[in-house]
Amino acid sequence: MHEDVLAYIEFHIEQGPMLENAGRPLAVVEAIAAKVVWSLHFVGHANHAGTTPMNVRHVCLATAAEVDCTVERHAQTTSGLVATVGAIQANRRGNVIAGETRLSLDVVIRATRRETRR
């Protein structure tokens, strides 16, 4: 760093709503968030939707959707946790039960204490 530089300012526009809700025009960063990204792959059994009885289906898309909802509920109730299922892709056509589903899961732990992040 140059001797004539007093400070460095980096703007993060995504923090705007948080600052606005707190009634502050500016804030100081206290810590860096830990981010983890997972790619999850669910395997079911592709089959014709009209002729496959509900009780024998292996529907991986429904399982992926349950994971999405569980992630949302857990993040809503865990202080310092932000989590998002960014994308869900199901390999299926029209009236076919999906045989594979993939989703991306982004988890950001905003807790500054190591004990909280575990």
CATH number at residue 62: 3.30.70.360
Query: Are 47 and 57 contacting, i.e. CB atoms less than 8 angstroms apart?
Result: yes
Identify the domain containing residue 69 by its residue range: 33-117
Is the pTM here over 0.75, yes or no?
no
Confidence grade of residue 99 (pLDDT, cut at 50, 70, 90): very high
Residue 54 is assigned to a structural domain of this protein: yes
Residue 7 is assigned to a structural domain of this protein: no
The residue-averaged pLDDT of 76-92 equals 87
Residue 11 is assigned to a structural domain of this protein: no
CA 110 – CA 18 distance, rounded (Å): 14
Residue 52 is assigned to a structural domain of this protein: yes
Q: How many domains does the chain have?
A: 1
CA 29 – CA 83 distance, rounded (Å): 20
pLDDT of residue 116 exceeding 60: no
Residue 48 is assigned to a structural domain of this protein: yes
Read off the pLDDT of residues 31-62 as tens digits, 9 standing for 90 and up.
Answer: 677 788 999 999 999 999 999 999 999 999 99
